[in-house]
Amino acid sequence: MDGLRLLPLLDGAPVERSDAARNREALLAAAQELVSRCGVEAVTMDAVAARAGVGKGTVYRRFESREGLMAALLNHSETAWQASVLSGPPPLGPGAPPLERLLAFGHSRMETNLLHGDLIQAAGHSGARAFAAVSFAAMHVRYLLNEIGVCGDIPILTTALLAPLEQVILQQQTHIEQLPLDRIRRGWDDLVRRVVTADPPDSVDVVAP
């Protein structure tokens, strides 16, 4: 008699129905295959739906938009990467001094961003990337800067360090300006060194929110 019982367990996650889960798997698999067989371009919403044997509406129900679908695909590799940052071997993972970890972090992120270039671009500003990737990277860099003992507005400095690692920027440097990856990597090391070793600004009263 009370409709409350119908609500998902204690109001937590809206529970996922079995067919929904099955379809999500199928869609991700279909998309993955399409992207690895014919490139990102070929990943058409109709194509994915057809290959997964579902209607187009279903694709949009699971993943908001095309960008959302791409973001979901990205999340797989992204998660693996996060794991290697959090618990992989040094210097990327824990164990090395924070400055070395920061340098390794930059090189690693540079590589993955270039590796998944077109996927990242196709994902655009959507979904999980704005959440997972960006905020994780920011969190980690903030943490390392704190460990190193850098003074100043850490969140802003973090953005400044992360910005040149963004796919768009790297793309520009490698594809248009034709800079060798090596040089870009040295550039990162240099940038970090400059940011980290500078004297603190006159007034340091800004605190991370």
Contact positions vs DNA (CB under 7 A): 1, 3, 5-6, 14-20, 22-23, 43-46, 53-58, 60-62, 65-67
Q: How far apart are the first and last CA of the chain?
A: 47
Q: Of these partners, DNA, its own copies, none, which one is at the site of residue 78 (CB under 5 to 8 Å by kind)?
A: none
Nearer to its own copies, 83 or 156 (CB): 156
Nearer to its own copies, 36 or 203 (CB): 203
Q: Which two tokens stand for residue 108?
A: 């690693």
Q: How far apart are CA 91 and CA 100, in angstroms?
A: 6
Measure Cα distances from 138 to 56, 134, 160 in Å: 35, 6, 10
Partnered with residue 94 across adjacent β-strands are 96
Yes or no: say if 143 and 181 are a contact pair by the CB < 8 Å rule: no
By the criterion CB under 8 A, which residues form the site for its own copies?
Answer: 125, 130, 134, 152-153, 155-157, 159-160, 163-164, 166, 168-169, 172-173, 176-177, 179, 183-184, 186-187, 190-191, 193-195, 197-199, 201, 206
Nearer to DNA, 46 or 190 (CB): 46
Q: Of these partners, DNA, its own copies, none, which one is at the site of residue 96 (CB under 5 to 8 Å by kind)?
A: none
Structure-token match 């379809």, residue found: 23
Supply the minimum distance, in Å, between the C-beta of residue 152 and its own copies: 6
Q: Which two tokens stand for residue 57?
A: 């509406």
Q: Of these partners, DNA, its own copies, none, which one is at the site of residue 197 (CB under 5 to 8 Å by kind)?
A: its own copies
Closest CA relative to residue 127, chosen from 177, 63, 203, 82:
63
Nearer to DNA, 49 or 144 (CB): 49
